[in-house]
Structure 1
Amino acid sequence: MTINKIKRTALCLSLLTAFSCTDNFEDINTNPEGATIEQLDQDYNSIKSLFKPAFNHLFISETTWQYQIQQSLQADGWSGYMTTPVPFGPQNNHDYVLNGGWNSYAWDDAYVNIISYLYKAEQRSKDKFDQFYAWSLILKVATMQRITDMYGPAVYSKFGKGVATYDSQKEIYTQMFKDLDFAVTELTKRNAAGEKTAFDETDLSLYEGKYANWTKYANSLRLRMAMRISKVDPALAKVEAEKAVSHSLGVFTATADGLKIKSPTDLNVIDVMSHSWVGLFMGADMESILGGYQDPRISKYWNTSKVTPGEYKGVRTGIIYPSGSTYSKFSQTGPRTKTGEITWMSTAEVYFLRAEGALRGWNMGGTAQSLYEAGIKSSFEQNGAEGATAYIADNTKLPKDYVDPLNPANNAQAISKITVAWGTDKEKNLEKIITQKWIATYPDGQEAWSEFRRTGYPKLFRISNNQSNGLISTELGVRRLAFSDSEVANNKEGIASGVAALGGLDNGATRLWWDTSAPNF
């Protein structure tokens, strides 16, 4: 299997040109029958079409190669979820020789295909149709939370203002919290007034445009962001987390509250890569952790292998792959990714966020243990798995050693020594929370990779074929993506401001603002 070639026709390659790419939206969206923007405003038609790209590109739902370039070849492997065991050549993220062509795509795609459209939605709706402005802010924050957690500094506050200098990650998080303040206040007010949603025909999620659901998502997103900065700014993190949970509509609590969309093609790009391309397989960490716990969700996430029939067999990331077909009989993806349903955020994740908050002494509306166990139950329910009660109580099973049936040199002893059952040690309980959140958040490798960088959990196997010549530590792994090649080529001023805000070299070893080496407590 080889990567499909990227074909970009008239693609805007820098943020400055991305701004100009939106200049002709007035022409593009003009009704050929002669209707003006003012006439189209009557049914919000000048705004509605601008939201579709966000749904299709925030989590790539249609085009497989785009997902592969944007996430599969980065975070999905670094998180331990799954890997593409192909010897791609001298520049390979698996081996920590980071491929700028691959790693630029998430940045370019976000700005050209999401942020530019949401910016135009803001121009057409702010102070006029503020329900749409609020919605655009929620989608903007959801997009930029992922982008800043990949790259660090980025263009946020100055987007569309003719200035392409970057905000620091601290500034981005501060502004994202403020944007959510407006969005939550606006939608809460309209929901309380019983206003009929204006989003129903535009919303491509399963929420059907309901203001209450989008408000809960915004609150849950705030909680995720608060936890992300808990080590670098614990005071602000506590304020924002408690604000999310104490809001009148609150955060996700029922499993059905989670935000999902349906792929327009009813296919899942992960399933296509794993089965049609025969190029994406279970990670060794998944086998070790789920297999060791005899976790019932393993049969929902994965199929048994052909190399050891009847058993689940994962592939280690960052080893020497002799050929693209060497590991082609290992476990491929299972029922979870067989449908076109894509989870943006789950209720289980929210319970685990609250559990960690409670562990840190924040008011999360429950004890750390009760919220932790609620998160496991919600994940079991979401995946149609049985046996949650016995699983939660198990205090004996541990992650298991990994055995590569093709090459014993890749064998590895399990690193984690925790059981599932709640304990008494604070640090170990944090490891339990993050490990279970890692299981529940599958297949979103981006969130899993971010939490691994923040906490060091779950404890993952290290790569054995580090080709970075000492640039990236085998122990610490990749900490971020370098800025986009298109920015380096076309936005010198922006890159200079980004590197200054980063406070380190523009490479994969430099830590982000929230990625501090300080202890978890």
Structure 2
Amino acid sequence: MNHIIKYTLASLAVLSLTNCTDSFEDTNSNPYGITLESLTQRNNHIGTKFAPMFANVIRVEPAWNYQLQQNLNADVFSGYMTAPTPFAGNINNQTYSLVNGWNGFIWIDAYDSNSGNGVMPHAKDINDIVAASGDTSGEKFVHLANIIKVMAMHRVSDVFGPIRYSKFNEFATSGEYDSQETAYKAFFTDLDAAISGLESEVGSSQFVDFDQSSFQGDIAKWRMFANSLRLRLAIRVSKVDPALAKTEGEKALASNAGLLASEDMEVDMGGFVHPIETISNVWGDICMSSEMESILKGFNDGRIEKYFSAPEDPSLGDYKGIRMGIEIEAKSQYGSHSKIGEVIQGTSKVWMTSAEVHFLKAEAALRGWAGAGDAKTNYENGVRASFEQHGVGGVDNYLADNTSTPADFVDALNAANDYSYPSTVTIAYNEAGSLEEQLEQIITQKWIAMFPDGQEAWSEYRRTGYPQVFPVVVNNSGGTIDTDIQIRRINFVDSEKNTNGANVDIATSYLKGPDNGGTRLWWDTGNSNF
């Protein structure tokens, strides 16, 4: 009931911006004895817009929405997980027959404000309310909304490429797309403004009531997160625009906002269980991947016990994964393989970890960015942070292991799906190795540490080629996706093509090729890493 009252009163407060009359206070008071002026002073008319933004960066409820927003695309394309279920007769995303009805939810959760969806519309609302008020003290909320917006929309851009972003707030141009390059430069602009603009707001408690993250309204921590996000995006563009990447990366490394060093950025799930818990352990629709089995078992990595559960069929051994894109006739064939473990059994979803930031700094050091420190130290700090995050011991012995390598994969049912792991990457950091060899170590450990966020893992695989994700056995793309190069993006959604076709045509011209899954994104150069 309290939530219903809160949202109802907040809606009335928004109306107060456009429905003022001389007798307003007499005729528009609410039955709970709280004036609309009081609600405005408490910022509820702005704060309630944050709830759907927090909800839709990574959608939790209903679980099937997350399944379509991320699990049956990025989570499987990244080499993290595999569905044992032959959806649509095994002609689906996993065999590169991209299902437009599924993939549309990636877009809907970002742009559609109906049914609890939307990030962009609510960020626009916050901007509009603050602008209409004429009160500059509300700008802190615009900055906070823009941080969340960048967090959400860089992920959407990393799926499709061009997106509607920099022109979205103007009615006449809201349907127009930015190229991915333009969008990324807008992300940096928004983050820079937020980091600068929030500096004077450190210590303010006005965001406490609306903050669903582990930061609990602490503006200093939000600046730190925004700065860490800036470093993530700088590394993302390091191959396509080294000068821009270095500029933005060194700003992040030098900023007084700091970087996530010992605390993760997590968002409360509002009492719901993690959707992967439902998808994997209730529905049985997602399991351990073959790559996870090869790398974690080959490395004797203790995190495997946190990430996955033992197979329901004991004859499969301690942990057993499934290769993506193979012939599957029925769920019962591979349905007893390892499910996702206790890593998803919490009350929050992770947006960014301190472990990731250490690995970002390790790569920045390889690239010679000022302030990055030492690559080996950052690498080892990243591994340590990940082990600590998951409560796993033995990190010193793990980091000293210079012999273990990923294991070859053996399919439990069909030898045609076996795969020899095509690398001898090791754990102990090899400072004498080439830049490429050191980068493979960094990204492999970063990939392990970011689990279960397949979106970031898929992006990093496409950017660097690491770790080694196995090619599909069955390719139903009709030649649009190369089996060895693998899927690089998802095509624009049907709802946009049907209602915003002219702008989609322009967006398509921003791509490096046709609007299909085989075309590389702007930052995905396909060139060497150095």
Q: TM-score, normalised by structure 1?
A: 0.92
Kept after mapping to 2: 8 A contact 1:300/1:383: yes
SS of 2:518's equivalent in the other structure is: coil
Q: 1:207 to 1:345 in 2, by over 3 A?
A: same
Range with bigger deviation, 428-437 or 109-118: 109-118
Query: Shift of residue 84 of structure 1?
Result: 1.2
Kept after mapping to 2: 8 A contact 1:266/1:339: no
Kept after mapping to 2: 8 A contact 1:29/1:46: no
1:176 counterpart = 2:187? yes
Which amino acid is the alignment partner of residue 108 of structure 1?
Answer: I
Q: Which runs of 4+ in 1 moved over 6 A?
A: 27-32, 34-37
1:167 counterpart = 2:178? yes
Partner of residue 150, structure 1? 159
Partner of residue 480, structure 1? 489
Partner of residue 314, structure 1? 321
CA–CA separation in structure 2 for the residues paired with 1:29 and 1:281:
52
Q: Deviations over 1:272-312 (max 9, x none)?
A: 11111011100010000001000010001011112335510
* Counterpart pick for 2:282 among 273, 276, 280: 276
Kept after mapping to 2: 8 A contact 1:355/1:364: no
Kept after mapping to 1: 8 A contact 2:177/2:507: yes
CA–CA separation in structure 2 for the residues paired with 1:501 and 1:240:
23
Query: Shift of residue 128 of structure 1?
Result: 4.4
* Counterpart pick for 2:30 among 29, 33, 37: 33
Q: Deviations over 1:293-352 (max 9, x none)?
A: 000100010111123355100011100112022111100111111123211000000000
Aligned counterparts, 1:276-425, within 5 A: 276-307=282-313, 308=315, 310-423=317-430, 424=432, 425=434
1:124 counterpart = 2:129? yes
Aligned counterparts, 1:501-520, within 5 A: 501-520=510-529
CA–CA separation in structure 2 for the residues paired with 1:108 and 1:27:
29
Kept after mapping to 2: 8 A contact 1:62/1:265: no
SS of 2:87's equivalent in the other structure is: coil
CA–CA separation in structure 1 for the residues paired with 2:209 and 2:507:
39
CA–CA separation in structure 2 for the residues paired with 1:64 and 1:496:
33
CA–CA separation in structure 2 for the residues paired with 1:508 and 1:364:
37
Q: Deviations over 1:50-99 (max 9, x none)?
A: 00001111111221000001101101101010111221126400111111
Which amino acid is the alignment partner of residue 197 of structure 2?
Answer: E
Query: Shift of residue 27 of structure 1?
Result: 8.7
Kept after mapping to 2: 8 A contact 1:108/1:484: no
Query: Shift of residue 29 of structure 1?
Result: 12
CA–CA separation in structure 2 for the residues paired with 1:459 and 1:32:
62
Q: Deviations over 1:204-231 (max 9, x none)?
A: 1111010111111000000000000000
* Counterpart pick for 2:219 among 196, 211, 215: 211
CA–CA separation in structure 2 for the residues paired with 1:503 and 1:75:
21
Q: Deviations over 1:155-212 (max 9, x none)?
A: 1111131221111111111111011111101212221xxx332111110111101011
Partner of residue 8, structure 1? none
Aligned residues: CA RMSD: 1.9
* Counterpart pick for 1:496 among 488, 505, 528: 505
Kept after mapping to 2: 8 A contact 1:37/1:46: no
SS of 1:260's equivalent in the other structure is: strand
Which amino acid is the alignment partner of residue 352 of structure 1?
Answer: F
CA–CA separation in structure 1 for the residues paired with 2:121 and 2:334:
41
Which amino acid is the alignment partner of residue 363 of structure 2?
Answer: E
Range with bigger deviation, 55-64 or 341-350: 55-64
Partner of residue 23, structure 2? none
Partner of residue 240, structure 2? 232
Aligned counterparts, 1:128-143, within 5 A: 128-143=137-152
CA–CA separation in structure 2 for the residues paired with 1:155 and 1:27:
30
Partner of residue 223, structure 1? 231
Kept after mapping to 2: 8 A contact 1:462/1:475: yes
SS of 1:129's equivalent in the other structure is: helix
CA–CA separation in structure 2 for the residues paired with 1:176 and 1:460:
29
Which has more radius of gyration? Answer: 2
Kept after mapping to 1: 8 A contact 2:195/2:257: no
CA–CA separation in structure 1 for the residues paired with 2:111 and 2:389:
32
Kept after mapping to 1: 8 A contact 2:29/2:35: no
Query: Shift of residue 497 of structure 1?
Result: 1.7
Kept after mapping to 1: 8 A contact 2:274/2:345: yes
Query: Shift of residue 467 of structure 1?
Result: 1.4
Q: 1:326 to 1:190 in 2, by over 3 A?
A: same
Partner of residue 103, structure 1? 103
Question: Gaps spanning 5+ residues in structure 2: where?
Answer: 1-10, 20-27, 113-117
CA–CA separation in structure 1 for the residues paired with 2:480 and 2:507:
20
Q: Which has the higher contact order (CA 8 A, sep 6+)?
A: 1
Query: Shift of residue 503 of structure 1?
Result: 3.8
Which amino acid is the alignment partner of residue 260 of structure 2?
Answer: F
SS of 2:351's equivalent in the other structure is: strand
Query: Shift of residue 245 of structure 1?
Result: 1.5
Query: Shift of residue 265 of structure 1?
Result: 2.2
Range with bigger deviation, 84-93 or 154-163: 84-93
Question: Gaps spanning 5+ residues in structure 1: where?
Answer: 1-21
SS of 1:342's equivalent in the other structure is: strand
Range with bigger deviation, 302-311 or 261-270: 302-311
SS of 1:502's equivalent in the other structure is: coil
Q: 1:188 to 1:410 in 2, by over 3 A?
A: same
Partner of residue 73, structure 1? 72
Q: 1:32 to 1:295 in 2, by over 3 A?
A: farther
Kept after mapping to 2: 8 A contact 1:318/1:465: yes
Which amino acid is the alignment partner of residue 495 of structure 1?
Answer: V
Range with bigger deviation, 143-152 or 126-135: 126-135
CA–CA separation in structure 2 for the residues paired with 1:270 and 1:29:
43
Which amino acid is the alignment partner of residue 396 of structure 2?
Answer: T
Q: 1:428 to 1:101 in 2, by over 3 A?
A: same
Query: Shift of residue 509 of structure 1?
Result: 0.9
Kept after mapping to 1: 8 A contact 2:316/2:337: no
1:261 counterpart = 2:267? yes
Which amino acid is the alignment partner of residue 183 of structure 1?
Answer: A
CA–CA separation in structure 2 for the residues paired with 1:184 and 1:458:
33
CA–CA separation in structure 1 for the residues paired with 2:517 and 2:16:
41
CA–CA separation in structure 2 for the residues paired with 1:94 and 1:28:
49
- Percent same amino acid among aligned pairs? 43
Kept after mapping to 2: 8 A contact 1:267/1:338: yes
Kept after mapping to 2: 8 A contact 1:402/1:411: yes
SS of 2:333's equivalent in the other structure is: coil
Range with bigger deviation, 57-66 or 432-441: 57-66
CA–CA separation in structure 2 for the residues paired with 1:463 and 1:213:
42
Kept after mapping to 2: 8 A contact 1:47/1:121: yes
